[in-house]
Structure 1
Amino acid sequence: MNHKLLEIVACPMCQGRLEYDKGNERLICHFDHVAYAIEQGIPVLLAERAEPIFSQEEKE
């Protein structure tokens, strides 16, 4: 993931910073607990396509 691009993209729901998850090739918003897929090298930053993620604390 291009670091310059990562500095300017934001979560479409909260406009917060996104973190690149290299292992799963997706962008994560920790505030909204959602992940955005990266398809063919392009982030899909559509709120309706966001996938919910759960932290370890929420699973327990």
Structure 2
Amino acid sequence: MNDSVMMDPKMLSVLVCPKTGGPLSYDSDKKELISKSAKLAFPVREGVPILLLDEARAL
């Protein structure tokens, strides 16, 4: 699949951090969803956010 998949703003507005319930922001360079409150980055693979704590990396 195309690596330049963009995150749908509508989907981003309803997604929340699974740890804190706080908002997420999208880093298009790293293809990650960022939770500033939890200091975690969740991968986005082929346009699908992987919101599993085991898959997140610490910031």
Between Structure 1 and Structure 2, the one with more helix by share is 1
Runs in 1 of length 4+ with deviation above 2 angstroms?
none
Give the TM-score taking structure 2 as reference length: 0.86
Aligned-partner residue type, residue 47 of structure 2: G
Q: Percent identity?
A: 32
Unaligned runs of 5+ in 2: 1-6
Give the TM-score taking structure 1 as reference length: 0.84
Query: Could you say which structure has the greater relative contact order, defined with CA pairs below 8 angstroms and 6 or more residues apart?
Result: 2
Q: Distance in 2 between matches of 1:21 and 1:45?
A: 15
Aligned partner (choices 50, 54, 57) of residue 56 of structure 2:
50
Unaligned runs of 5+ in 1: 54-60
Are 1:40 and 2:46 counterparts? yes
Are 1:12 and 2:18 counterparts? yes
Q: Which has the larger radius of gyration?
A: 1
Number of residue pairs aligned between Structure 1 and Structure 2: 53
